[in-house]
């Protein structure tokens, strides 16, 4: 049995994580930490879990009770927490922030299973990828692995409001976001570093620009990515390349027609569609920013670390309608 703790338990990703873990056959949640909600019922924040869990949030962190902790803290806070708190070497960590995703002087492995599955299996500390970064990379990894990224990459991605976190800000209020779309962080998004890092891991000669324009969508969850770049192989060869790359990866599916976001919302799946337009390859991906883009992928990484089937506890059906 995997005994888990969650640090930073009040946000959207923590709520999704608890929802998966309470139904996972190999997991027992020992505690859920939240300084601001300590002593309150978890369901007072995550009311949708009523009937599934009757625990209280705690401010205490007892590492002797767990062999894995999930960090669900805000970006920047995981690094500060690690500096202030010694996590025993016997306790594995999966961090859902962006604090340890770039290669550097830390011992975290970048947790994209479709890129680093074998490394993840042997690792004790995992940096879970970003939501936009996951969808974008899953659309590009087969090209990079084949050495076929030869030109600039142009990317447009639209994300649901849950990607901005639970704490309301001006751009997430219903009256502003409803019936509205807007561009933000064009060409400067924080996920660009991890995307470039992964592409260079597979194709170290790639040195072209990655032009990414993110868009705030007027829906709650999900990410749709469209990306294109120059590619000289045929349509059939392109599709075969993608099918072969993802043949052993249970959550990425190459589909025959351009996917809809509702095909994957509430699942840990990513659907990928490829098509040629002249000398350009157009790749479309759809994924759920809170699952394959966050908490579902974290559980997928947990399964790999502990030698379980990758899909354990993650056979979730799309909402669809």
Task: Assign 212 to helix, strand or coil.
Answer: strand
280's enclosing H/E stretch is: strand 280-287
Task: Assign 133 to helix, strand or coil.
Answer: helix
The whole-angstrom separation of Cα 287 and Cα 293 is 7
- Which residues have C-beta within 8 Å of that of residue 29, sequence separation ≥ 6? 4, 5, 6, 18, 21, 22, 53, 55
Catalytic positions, written as ranges: 131
CB neighbour class for 197 (10 Å; exposed up to 12, middle 13-18, buried from 19): middle
Backbone torsions φ then ψ of 140, nearest 5 degrees: -120, -20
The whole-angstrom separation of Cα 40 and Cα 142 is 46
Angle at 18 between CA 12 and CA 19, to 5 degrees: 90
Measuring CA to CA, which residue among 148, 152, 309 is closest to residue 227? 152
In the beta sheet, which residues pair with residue 212? 155
């Amino acid at each position: 049995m995997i005994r888990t703790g969650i640090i930073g338990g009040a946000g959207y990703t923590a709520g999704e994580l608890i929802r998966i873990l309470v139904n996972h056959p190999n997991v027992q949640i020992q505690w859920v930490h939240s300084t601001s909600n300590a002593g309150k019922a978890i369901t007072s924040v995550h009311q949708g879990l009523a009937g599934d869990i009757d625990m209280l949030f705690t401010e205490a962190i007892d590492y002797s009770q767990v062999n894995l902790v999930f960090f669900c803290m805000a970006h920047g806070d995981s690094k500060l927490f690690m500096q202030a708190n010694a996590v025993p070497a016997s306790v594995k960590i999966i961090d859902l922030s962006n604090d340890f995703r770039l290669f550097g002087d830390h011992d975290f492995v970048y947790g994209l299973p479709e890129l680093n599955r074998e490394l993840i299996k042997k690792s004790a500390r995992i940096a879970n990828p970003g939501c936009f970064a996951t969808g974008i990379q899953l659309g590009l990894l087969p090209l990079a692995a084949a050495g076929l990224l030869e030109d600039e990459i142009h990317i447009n991605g639209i994300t649901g409001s849950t990607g901005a976190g639970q704490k309301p800000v001006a751009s997430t209020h219903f009256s502003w976001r409803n019936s509205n779309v807007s561009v933000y962080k064009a060409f400067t998004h924080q996920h660009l570093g991890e995307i470039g890092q992964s592409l260079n891991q597979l194709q170290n000669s790639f040195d072209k620009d990655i032009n990414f324009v993110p868009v705030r969508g007027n829906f709650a969850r999900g990410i749709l990515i469209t990306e294109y770049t120059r590619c000289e192989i045929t349509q059939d060869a392109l599709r075969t390349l993608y099918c072969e790359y993802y043949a052993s990866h249970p959550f990425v599916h190459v589909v025959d027609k351009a996917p809809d976001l509702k095909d994957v919302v509430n699942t840990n799946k990513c659907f990928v569609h490829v098509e040629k337009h002249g000398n350009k390859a157009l790749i479309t991906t759809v994924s759920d920013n809170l699952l394959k883009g966050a908490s579902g992928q974290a559980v997928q990484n947990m399964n790999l670390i502990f030698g379980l089937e990758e899909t354990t506890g993650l056979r979730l059906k799309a909402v669809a309608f």
